[in-house]
Structure 1
């Protein structure tokens, strides 16, 4: 049926206006002018009008501003959030160091001379005292050398005595007497050497401790590099571990420590720090520490693995509620309420404790950060803190006004 542009189209709330020109008989005519349309042209124009109105609605919504859209989304007012203050407080850092237990004194027992084992005076795992005989070696040849050296010494002493008497009456010159005196000193040195070698055939414990496994047999030939057994002083154990250089301020001599071992899960071992290395390892940035730990019952063995718990307390640390953190792509953010608006900030984290986290950068003490309601806000959006009066922001345009949504803390 005929339909003119100037009429109201069915389904529209107004008259469709056309801003173009149409030629009639070769002459351009401006709208509105009555024009007859076919049914197909009528449908085409109706669809075009629908698209134009939809685009117009979207444009009007955009002109209202992002804030208007947000207000409509959240019920016509700023979203309600719960905030907490950034505080200064104390925090305790805990570090678990991996330690190795070592005997207070530990050696491989070896002979000083080459000889054949003639007697073994210890049992494996036996506790021995300082100076106690462990092994005896064959000493017959060394004893013969000692006898020969002692005989030579006696002869030199006798001759020196005779010449000394003659020298008093000037029968013997001073030069001859000095030569005999030198020979006497050589003979005395040979005797001392033989006695020392004879003493070395008796192997004694240099300190009190516990011997290990026996690695020789009677009749076996031993050399100075032959290990006979081991000897460990385990009454007191050395605990060796390293700590990061940040803990240098708490590492000092006589510091009490506590360690645990997997072999004794229900027991804690206590000791004290005896020495701290004077240098920090430039590769690991760590500090070597040695502690002594009593071990009267022998529960700890050399080479055991232990864990040492180290603590340090720091004061005036910036602390924030852990619930305020918003992780995103490996970084951490918080929302700070500033003059009634949410401000997104990236923060650097330090140590943690239940419910709180140390802030290394990005926040200052006293600032208010959102702990509840972070899902409903984003950077720059007006917010209302719990307990603040309701209502939309006032005092300026929607695009540029900054009106507090509540008292600034």
Structure 2
């Protein structure tokens, strides 16, 4: 029993000694590693300076609209007999979209045409009567006969007067012929008045018939136009976006009936903040991403509204493109993503902004030469997000430090643990 206890104690002691030895050995290794790292230099990563594009852009959501949309409204109030097309259909200029009830207009037109036929006959008769009145009318003929008789008696009365003055005939003979002359003269004046009255009446009737005909002609023109208006036609090629009626409804004159969108040119309406509006100009390039389209569309700003909403401080920008820019049918009202290219560098030296160290009034980078880094002052240009354009100070292909910049200094020895020259 005692031998077993001694055996266990020996085993425990050996285990303890082994553990203590391992701990001491690990400590020595750590100190050795630290010394090794210190000899290698300050750890950092390296990036090679390359040529790259740099684009400053601002993104907004917009809404697609047709550049040319037409709202159709009936010119007359009438029941809808037929809808030829439906929403979403393509139409050509002149296509009949709907037919309205024309029965009342046809009935009124037929009545007016019948009246015109009757009045034209009457007007032709009256015009002929007026034109030939003094040649063919009995009243005028009678006036002509009495006037000839009056002229004869007038001449006779003048002869009798001469004879009476010379005593060739008695006064009674002269008085008789004078009485006959006066009687015929009165008769002639009455007949002339009656004849003129008849003529005036015929002329008035002719004029009234002419006025009525003009009114009927005008009515026929209006009814013909109304008949034309019973068909609602497409004024241009396009797609029907909306029809606000159904067959059997009463179409109200002036109330929107349908909307047709042109399919040649489109605009994207974009609401832009007042701050970003100052960066956008007419002609600014815009990349438009449309859901369902294979590729993004390159478009341009064509209109900037001159004012902004005083409450929201937001203005509207229009971006235009054509149907040839898209490869599938457009859905008007679709929301799209837009990117306004407000500044662009085609090709230049670009590095991450984090690789630059700011020292008072200058900016530097640490350029690698052998296993050392040296400060290099640079001049920067365009800054987009986390990228910066370098105008002067470094060249393409040079390698710069990109980690532990706060620990680096001019001439520092470095240990590259990741990057172009990983060791």
| TM-score in terms of structure 1 length | 0.50
Alpha-carbon separation, structure 1, partners of 2:241 and 2:352: 56
Residue number among 104, 108, 111 corresponding to 2:74 in the alignment: 111
* Residue pair 2:54, 2:344 contacting (<8 A) in 1 also: yes
Cα 1:269/1:237, change in 2 over 3 Å: farther
SS in 1 for 2:111: helix
* Residue pair 1:271, 1:293 contacting (<8 A) in 2 also: no
Query: Alignment RMSD, CA only?
Result: 5.5
* Residue pair 1:157, 1:184 contacting (<8 A) in 2 also: no
* Residue pair 1:93, 1:313 contacting (<8 A) in 2 also: yes
| Structure holding more strand per residue | 1
Cα 1:270/1:371, change in 2 over 3 Å: closer
1:270 match: 297
2:85 match: 122
- State the Cα deviation string for residues 204-242 of structure 1 (Å, max 9, x = none): 222223335765444333323665554333455433336
Alpha-carbon separation, structure 1, partners of 2:246 and 2:402: 76
Alpha-carbon separation, structure 1, partners of 2:301 and 2:356: 42
1:407 match: none
Cα 1:316/1:371, change in 2 over 3 Å: same
Alpha-carbon separation, structure 1, partners of 2:299 and 2:404: 50
What 5-or-longer segments of structure 2 have no aligned partner? 1-37, 135-198, 367-374, 395-399, 414-423
**How many residues are matched?**
289
1:37 match: none
What 5-or-longer segments of structure 1 have no aligned partner? 1-74, 328-332, 378-382, 388-409
- State the Cα deviation string for residues 34-63 of structure 1 (Å, max 9, x = none): xxxxxxxxxxxxxxxxxxxxxxxxxxxxxx
| Structure holding more helix per residue | 2
| TM-score in terms of structure 2 length | 0.49
**1:317 Cα deviation from its structure 2 partner:** 10
1:61 match: none
**1:357 Cα deviation from its structure 2 partner:** 2.2
SS in 2 for 1:195: helix
1:351 match: 384
SS in 1 for 2:314: coil
Instruction: After TM superposition, list the pairs within 5 Å mapping 1:4-403 onto structure 2.
Output: 91-154=54-117, 155=119, 159=123, 162-163=126-127, 166=130, 184-211=213-240, 216-224=245-253, 228-234=257-263, 236-241=265-270, 244-249=276-281, 251=283, 258-264=287-293, 267-270=294-297, 272-273=299-300, 275-277=302-304, 279=306, 281=308, 283-284=313-314, 287-294=317-324, 298-311=328-341, 312-313=343-344, 322-324=353-355, 350-352=383-385, 356-357=387-388, 374-376=405-407, 384-386=410-412
1:54 match: none
Cα 1:172/1:278, change in 2 over 3 Å: farther
**1:358 Cα deviation from its structure 2 partner:** 5.8
- State the Cα deviation string for residues 115-170 of structure 1 (Å, max 9, x = none): 22223323454323221222222211111222333345552696388449836989
Alpha-carbon separation, structure 1, partners of 2:266 and 2:324: 6
Alpha-carbon separation, structure 2, partners of 1:237 and 1:126: 18
Structure with bigger gyration radius: 2
Alpha-carbon separation, structure 2, partners of 1:384 and 1:183: 108
Alpha-carbon separation, structure 1, partners of 2:326 and 2:131: 67
Cα 1:205/1:308, change in 2 over 3 Å: same
Higher RCO, Cα 8 Å, sep 6+: 2
